[in-house]
Amino acid sequence: MTQVVLSHVIRAAQVDPPAPQGVAAFPGDVRPVEQALADRGFLDPAFIDGAFGTLTLNAYSRLQRSFGFGGHDADGIPGSSSLKRLGAESGLFDVVDGDMQPQPPSGIGMSVSDVIFDQVVDGSTTAAIKQVCSMMDLPVDNWLPGYMTIAVRESSYNFNAVNTTDSNAHGSRQSDGCPFYCSRGVVQCIPPTFATYHQPGTDTHIYDGVANIAASINYVMDTYHVSRDGHDLTARVQQADENRPPHGY
């Protein structure tokens, strides 16, 4: 999972003020914003791609104008007022101190402060996926192949894998010696995403294979709208499709 920082597109505005200085982080990607724009008819759903490009910028400008902003305040660059309002009205995310947190389905999730960063004893990825499917009542035949592909691409099946080189590798160091926002675990969750989509009854260790995979599955069902039966997993998540090139998810 990746984290896209939009601070480079946020600038001062008069009525629609920018997010606070620092990191304006969108855990996962900007798909929740794009989905909210599409739901309002401002963006063609075919262009929900996680990239804040020209089409999304123009769609966001139309959103700002619908909120009553004009001039530089309707230039398509997210400011805190419009972003908070869009999140609140769509129910897809919150904006807290400049950080956009996706809103998962009810009944899952925990506080990010409860995430434990100690590494764990490595285990079987196959067994972990099967256990997740059993506890979440998901058809293993549809979920297992795709998640095995994600796991080998993200971590080579290593429960204790951590990425210290990509754009997520920032923040204070945790008990594993790595920066807070690093992607971790067998299917590489960043801590805010792991916490937001944490499956009740699973471990709070981010490196725990079952907990890591369960949070990831909740994430792809919510973010990519993968069906619970998993029949469309490889179609909606390229990283799960062994017949297509690797692609961050």
Query: Does residue 130 share a domain with residue 174?
Result: yes
pLDDT confidence of residue 29:
57
92 and 160 housed in the same domain = no
Residue 142 sits in which domain range?
Answer: 112-240
Is pLDDT of 146 > 90?
Answer: yes
Provide the CATH number for the domain around residue 53: 1.10.101
Residues in CB range of 221: below 8 A, 6 or more apart:
227, 228
Alpha-carbon distance 187 to 152, whole Å? 8
| Whether residue 60 sits in one domain with residue 22 | yes
pLDDT given at position 36 = 86
Mean pLDDT, the chain, integer: 84
Residue 246 located in a structural domain? no
pLDDT at 153: 97
Q: Who has greater pLDDT, 92 or 207?
A: 207
Confidence of residue 21 (pLDDT cuts 50, 70, 90): very low
pLDDT at 205 over 60: yes
Distance in angstroms (rounded) separating the CA atoms of residues 144 and 152: 12
Out of 97-106, 162-171, 233-242, the most confident range is 233-242
Q: What's the number of domains the chain is made of? A: 2
Is 247 among the domain residues?
A: no
Same structural domain for residues 225 and 177?
yes
Does the pLDDT of residue 200 top 70, yes or no?
Answer: yes
Q: Contact 49/34 with Cβ under 8 angstroms? A: yes
Residue 107 lies in a domain: no
Judged against a pLDDT cut of 50, whether residue 182 lies above it is answered with yes
pLDDT band at 93 (very low <50, low <70, confident <90, very high): confident
Q: Is the pLDDT of residue 15 over 60?
A: no
Full DSSP string of 36-98: HHHHTTSS-GGG-SS---HHHHHHHHHHHHHTT--GGGGSS---HHHHHHHHHHHSSEEEETT
- CA 119, 125, 129, 135 dihedral sign is negative
Burial of 73 (0-12, 13-18, 19+ CB in 10 A): buried
Look at residue 9 and tell me if it is in a domain: yes
pLDDT score of 2: 35
| pLDDT tens-place string over residues 28-87 | 457 788 888 988 899 888 887 777 788 888 999 999 999 999 998 898 888 878 888 888
* Residues linked to residue 147 through DSSP beta bridges, in sequence order: none
